[in-house]
Every structure is written in structure tokens, then in C-alpha cells.
Amino acid sequence: MKSFTYVSFPARVVFGAGSVARLEKEVERLGAKRALFISTPGRAADVRRLAATLGDRYAGLYDQAVRHVPIEVAEDARRAAKEGNADCCVVVGGGSTIGLGKAIALTTGMPVLAVPTTYSGSEMTWTQGFTEGGRKRTQVDPKMLPKTVIYDPELTLGLPAATSAASGMNAIAHCVEALYAKEANPVVSLMAEEGIRALAASLPAIVRDPKNMESRGEALYGAWLAGMCLNTGIALHHKLCHTLGGTWNLPHAETHSIVLPHAVRYNRDAAPEAMARIARALGAEEAAGGLYDLEMKLGLKMKLAELGVPAGDLERAARIALEAPYPNPAPITYEGVLALLRDAHAGRRPG
């Protein structure tokens, strides 16, 4: 067995349908007296109803979370936390909401309790992406790791089928890259393979019937595993998605979904063991084609062109992606990355 380093990330996980009923007890457990809730504008009414269950411990709702955490929004939310005299942050939503809670934790040190309602996996990491001046950057700090995570599949029943499918593929992307990341290790590889299996099994059922509680639970379990995998390392795929998402302000999960089969194809010959595990978890003959076929089955967008990326911008995207590349199994070349982006732009099935 090869040498490796494994880091575990301490978090308390409360999992199960109806588990959000334990929210007040879990806030109390953190020793917090005043919880600031965070949501996107669209989720504010639901989150306000949930917050009402906290009684005196409710310090207010900041409902302006948007994707990629613009630095101005982070500063505004920190002000709201200070003015509300909050000593804890409860984030209810997807990666955008969780990212904003992390931004508050970074400068105040206050604990974050996360209630994820998508499959982004952000609740399990101590990294956070933010945008400043049109560029997305990542910061890492243990203070940002949520102390408690409540996974309640009931809260995901209203997540639209298309958002669920794309978000699930975002989670699969975390698992995929953990299998061939520089810091890959046998423990995380177990979680990665199981995460892909759970998501690939549950997402088609969710798209058929978004209210299927059994599948919602399995997908959330897969997302939890995916979040733990994300801490292990990322490679070319995530770099491309960060570049595209931050510079062209693209929807995060959909971008991941479109790029993933092509990034996996790029790494095919350099990471054969990872490819075998991905294919096995998907129940497919090979990894890249299996991911592409799963996405087709889920009815996802398959082309970067459909997200509004002009074909003429691909050279620029390739250049930015090469500026500070993440470690990757296959050598990263401008020509190779450009060809990958062109395939993703046209939505060609990886050959």
C-alpha cells in the first residue's frame, strides 16, 4: 500500500427525516444564545418559519445569499451578525448560503450550524470560494468548518428536479476528483466510491419523482460523503469550474455537470484505478461515458454553449485555468484543456 496522509474533519452530524425538529437543541448544544439565520432571497419565507421554532434564541435572518459569495455581500452579512449581537450562525440552504455563513465565521469565529438543502457538500469543508473583482478565489480556515450539520431529507423535497440533478452531479464531481487527487487515500476512496453509487442510484428516481423520500435520503447521504471527499483534494475539473463560474458567473452545479465527463476523459489514461472505481460505482462500462450517459438520463444541459459561454471565450478560459493549476494526474497543457473545453462547449460524448 502507498504511503498517505489522512485528515479527519470534526463535525457532529444529525441525519434523518424530521431531524430539523432538533434544531433548537443543537443550537443550545453549541452554547449559543442568539442565532443569525442565513438564506437566499427565494428561501426566506421557509427559513423564517423554521427560525420561529427557536424562540428567544432567534437573532434575525439575513436573506441575501447569492452564488459565489461576492465580497460585498459577505461584508454586509458580517455587519448584520454584529448588529444582531449573534453568537452563532444557522445556514439553511445550498452552497451559496453555507458559503456566506463560513464568511461570517472566518472573521468572527462564531460557530456555524448547517442545514443543507442541496447536494453541494460545502457543509463538510473548511474551504470557501468568494468573488472579488470578477475573479473567484478560495480560502481555507478551520474556523469555517460547520460544527454541526443537520441533514433532513424532508427539507429537500421541494428542490426542483433539474436543480437536484445538477447539484447531485456536483457532489459526484467531488467524489470523482478525490479518487485521483494528489492526497487520495484508501479511506476517502471508500467514501468516494460509495458516494458516487448512492447519488447515481438515487438521482434518476428523484428526477422521476422529486417527493420520493427514500431517494432523497440516499442522495443526501451521498452528498455528505461527497463533502467529506472534497477536503481531500481537487484537480483539473474543479479548477475549470472555478474559472468558468467565477469569471463568467455561471450556475455552479450546472457547470460542474457539463464539464465533469470531459475532465474525467482527460484523466482517463493517467488514473486507471480511479476510472475503474468510478465505472463500478456507476454500473457503467467506463467512467467518462458512464457519467455522460447518467447526465443525459437526468435531462441535464450538456453544453457550455447552453449556459451562454461564447465559443470565442474558450481560449481565455483555458489560459486562466492554466494560471495556477491544481495538481492533476494527467499533465495540464493549453492545447489539451482547450480541446476539453471545446468538447464541453459542444456537448460531445467523450470518446
Q: How far is CA 167 from the centre of its chain?
A: 7
- Binding mask 250-269 toward ligand NAD (x if CB under 6 A, else -) reads --xx----------------
Q: Are strands 127-132 and 35-38 parallel, antiparallel or unpaired?
A: unpaired
Give how far the C-alpha of residue 32 lies from the chain's centroid of Cα atoms, to the nearest Å: 27
Query: Which phi and psi (to 5°) does residue 29 adopt?
Result: -60, -30
Contact mark string toward ligand NAD, 145..184, x via CB under 6 A: ----------xx-xx---x---x--x--------------
Is 230 near ligand NAD (CB under 6 A)?
Answer: yes
128 is a site residue for ligand NAD (CB under 6 A): yes
Degrees, nearest 5: CA angle 340-345-347 = 90
Whether the Cβ atoms of residue 191 and residue 215 lie closer than 8 Å to each other: no
- If one asks whether residue 97 binds ligand NAD (CB under 6 A), the answer comes out as yes
Least separation, in Å, of the C-beta of 96 and ligand NAD? 3
Nearest one of 177, 281, 171 to 223, comparing CA atoms: 171
Shortest reach from residue 102's CB to ligand NAD, in Å:
7
In the complex, which residue's CB is closest to ligand NAD? Answer: 95
| Residue 85 or 138 having the CB closest to ligand NAD | 138
Name which position in 118, 215, 257, 267 contacts ligand NAD (CB under 6 A).
118
| Minimum distance from residue 129 beta carbon to ligand NAD (Å) | 4
Using rule CB under 6 A, residue 125 touches ligand NAD: yes
What angle (nearest 5°) sits at the alpha carbon of residue 320, between those of residues 319 and 322? 65
Scanning the structure block, which residue is given the C-alpha cell 441533514?
151
101 binds ligand NAD (CB under 6 A): no
Q: Find residue 61's DSSP bridge partners.
A: 37
Q: Is residue 108 involved in binding ligand NAD (CB under 6 A)?
A: no
Q: Which of residues 34, 57, 68, 147 is near ligand NAD by CB under 6 A?
A: 68
CB 185 within 8 A of CB 5: yes
Using CB under 6 A, which of the segments 122-130, 177-185, 204-212, 331-339 binds ligand NAD?
122-130
Q: Does 57 bind ligand NAD (CB under 6 A)?
A: no
The 8-class DSSP code of residue 326 comes to P
Buried-exposed string 172-207: b where 16+ CB fall within 10 A, e elsewhere:
bbbbbbbbbbeebbeebbebbbbbbbbbbbbbeebb
134 counts as binding ligand NAD under rule CB under 6 A = no
| SS3 assignment, position 15 | strand
Contact between 96 and ligand NAD by CB under 6 A: the answer reads: yes
Q: Judged by CB under 6 A, which of 32, 62, 93, 329 binds ligand NAD?
A: 93
List, in sequence order, every residue forming a beta bridge with 139; answer none if it has no partner.
Answer: 128
Q: How far is the CB of 331 from ligand NAD (least distance, A)?
A: 26
Under rule CB under 6 A, how many of the chain's residues touch ligand NAD? 30
Per-residue binding letters, 27-46, with ligand NAD (x by CB under 6 A): -------------x-xx---
Q: 259 Cβ partners below 8 Å, 6+ apart?
A: 237, 240, 241, 244, 304, 340, 344
What Å distances lie between residue 190 and 110, 229, 262, 274, CA to CA? 32, 10, 23, 11
Residue closer to ligand NAD, measured from CB, 87 or 247? 247
> Cell triple for residue 129?
470560494
| Site residues for ligand NAD per CB under 6 A | 40, 42-43, 67-68, 93-97, 99, 117-118, 120-122, 125, 127-129, 155-156, 158-159, 163, 167, 170, 230, 252-253
